[in-house]
Amino acid sequence: MIPVLKNSDHQIIKNLIENAHPSQRTKEMGSLQNELRRAKIVDDKKIKDNVIQLNSYFEVREISSGNRLCFTLTLPADANLQDKKISILSPLGVALIGFQEGKEFEWQLPAGVRKFLIEKVSKSLPV
């Protein structure tokens, strides 16, 4: 699957990576850079609401266990697990950026590779 990013998110993430101090460069940052290179970049007005972008709320379910994860994808400075906000530089953030509701993806966890389904994506938290 090729991720789809709106132009403004692409620029923000690209700047985040380019301006990172060498001590901040992680494996995830390298993976995110690779995702940016292969992403399809679209005009901000053409991105669908069901595609995970910065500040998107999403729900994913692990297929084998049925466990559900619900988060908002943010920049690192805004990440806060208590508030269910994860960083674009987290392994899950890198895995999800640019993918849409209804898609399956694999994610490497300490216990091995797991399959997930993106069940819901929206621009804001549900009420």
Segment 46-66 shows an average pLDDT of 95
**Cα–Cα distance for residue pair 34/19, rounded to 1 Å:** 16
Q: What is the pLDDT of residue 28?
A: 83
What does the pLDDT read at residue 125?
Answer: 66
41 pLDDT band (50/70/90 cuts)?
Answer: very high
What does the pLDDT read at residue 69? Answer: 93
110: pLDDT confidence band, cut at 50, 70 and 90? low
- pTM value is 0.88
Q: Where are the alpha helices (DSSP H) in the chain?
A: 7-18, 27-38, 91-96
Q: Is the pLDDT of residue 127 over 60?
A: no
Residue 49: pLDDT above 60? yes
Determine contact, residues 1/51, Cβ cutoff 8 Å. Answer: no
